[in-house]
Structure 1
Amino acid sequence: MPYLELAGFGSAALIQTFDLRYDLVSALVELWRSETHTFHLSCGECTVTLEDVSLQLGLQIYGSAVTSVSTIAELVALCYSLLGVSPNNAESKFMSLRFSWLKANFEHLSINATEHENVRSYSWGSAILAMLYREFCRQKKLDAVDIDGCVILLQSWAPY
């Protein structure tokens, strides 16, 4: 946990498992307009903002851009080159790592590890929001049956 806090992920790491409200997510998908990246409600238009990401997840919204690694064919190899270990297929999900996997592999760091955390300089909140917007647009185009991205942000944002 101290290392996650140093990296700027302390608040997000405290989020526990939650019950996904499929009905809410499905309703929001139906109300999403890709042209404007907004939800069209009976009371007007609204959307999840960077401020929402910052307040609800405690993630950095200023800093260097987090860019896609879609040009890298083998993400497991990238993970191994950066971390020295990579998850097997059951432990990974799309393009993310589970906190349980990180804890199991990095709870006790080697004596060669440094406390220099340059990940803190990136705008992770912007990446989360962009991924969520992309997923909503994908849902509208493909009539997909699943959704990726930070659904907990969406679910906590919706009542407000």
Structure 2
Amino acid sequence: MSYLELVGFESTTLIQTFDLRYDLISVLVERWHLETRTFHLLCGECIVALEDVALQLGLPIDGSAVRGIGTIAELPALCYSLLGILPNDAKSKFTGLTFSWLKANFEHLSINATEKEVMYAARAYIMHIIRGVLMSDVNKNRVHLMYLSLLADFQNVRSYS
């Protein structure tokens, strides 16, 4: 928790998984107007702003934008240095980690875990939150290593939006 607090992710631990209500999503899709980027409801127009999301999730939005990383030369080396372990299938086109691998390797910490092992587990947990909760998609099973590179320095993470 201390590392999650340091990077500003402590509120994300409260986010629970939920079942999607496809009937409600369909209604919202039907009421979405692409031209104005708003929902047209019976009570008027409605838009979900970045500030709304920030207030609900408790995450900062006034820092540097995360737009992706150009090229990271040695992704396996980055992974090993920041997580302390590599997937068995790390090949030349190694760009991401599966959630099953993250869970298998970081779900449980030993009672005698070193500070470095706690940092590895915190990074793995944040990677899962980033791709599995905050920016999920249909796949929801892989997280790109570009996010891991942003977690190299815990002191700097809070500066991102």
Q: TM-score with structure 1 length normalisation?
A: 0.53
Tell me the alpha carbon deviations over residues 1-30 of structure 1, each in whole angstroms, 9 at most, x when there is no partner. Answer: 221121111111221222222211222122
Q: Which residue of 1 aligns with 2:158?
A: 120
**CA distance in structure 2 between the partners assigned to 1:30 and 1:102 by the alignment:** 42
Q: How many pairs were matched up?
A: 115
Distance 1:50 1:102, change over 3 A: farther
Q: Flag structure 2 segments of 5+ consecutive residues without an equivalent.
A: 88-95, 120-151
**CA distance in structure 1 between the partners assigned to 2:98 and 2:33 by the alignment:** 34
What residue identity is the alignment partner of 1:5?
E
Contact kept, 8 Å, 2:4 with 2:10, in 1: the verdict is yes
Q: Which residue of 1 aligns with 2:82?
A: 83
What residue identity is the alignment partner of 1:60?
P
Residue 83 (structure 1) shift? 2.8
Deviation above 6 Å: which 4+ runs of structure 1?
Answer: none
Q: Which residue of 1 aligns with 2:4?
A: 4
Q: TM-score with structure 2 length normalisation?
A: 0.53
Distance 1:28 1:115, change over 3 A: same
State the identity as a percent.
50
- What secondary structure sits across from 2:45 in the alignment? strand
Pairing 1:95-106 to 2, within 5 Å after superposition: 104=107
**CA distance in structure 1 between the partners assigned to 2:77 and 2:37 by the alignment:** 32
The CA RMSD measured in Å over matched residues stands at 3.9
- What secondary structure sits across from 1:40 in the alignment? strand
Distance 1:72 1:46, change over 3 A: farther
